[in-house]
Structure 1
């Protein structure tokens, strides 16, 4: 299947509707019936403001978080529209991708 790999960038301390934003986005992906989302914790990084974000032993609130998804064009458009409707400010990368499933599905 052809579509996109969408990566959304946030920090652990960002919240939306009382939840960690990254968790809220993963829940939204489930509610929208998307095929999957992977939440990745980053060690360190910096954004457009040049503010350094990192994981520290005593304070992890500023830790970078990435949400990765493989989406069809329609799914990607619908998700980005929904995030915009929520009033969220998020940096994202949308890369054309071919994706599929090899072998038989495994129930986890």
Structure 2
């Protein structure tokens, strides 16, 4: 399949409403029917403000967070519209990718399509 790898970059202390931004992005992706997303925690990063953001023993709220998904063009369109409507204000990258499943049926496929 053809689609996009979308990576959102945020920080542990960033919030959308009452929820941490990373968790909110994961939940929004799930609500949009996106079947795979990964939230990763970093140790250091330079934000769009040009500041170094880092995880310290006493201050984890500045810890960099990445949320990565691989989506079809239609999934990206729906997700981008939802994030725009919610005024998410989050930085992202979008890279064209080819994706699929090797070594067995796609766990999301119907039995007839898996054959």
TM-score range, shorter chain: over 0.9
Deviations 1:31-51 (A, max 9, x none): 111111100001101123211
Residue 33 of structure 1 pairs with residue 33 of structure 2: yes
C-alpha RMSD of the superposition: 1.5
Name the residue aligned to 1:5.
Answer: 5
The answer to which structure has the higher helix fraction is 2
Q: Give the secondary-structure state (helix, strand or coil) at the position aligned to 1:104.
A: coil
Whether 2:61 is the aligned partner of 1:61: answer yes
Which of structures 1 and 2 has the bigger CA Rg? 2
**Following the alignment from structure 2 to structure 1, what is the Cα–Cα distance between the partners of residues 26 and 61?**
18
Could you tell me how far apart the structure 2 residues matched to 1:88 and 1:5 are? 19
Instruction: Report the TM-score when normalising by structure 2.
Output: 0.87
Question: What runs of 5+ residues in structure 2 fail to find an aligned partner?
Answer: 108-115
Distance across 1 between alignment mates of 2:9 and 2:23: 12
Partner of 2:112: none
Structure 1's unaligned 5+ residue stretches are none
- State the partner residue of 2:45: 45
- Work out the CA distance in 2 between the residues paired with 1:42 and 1:103: 31
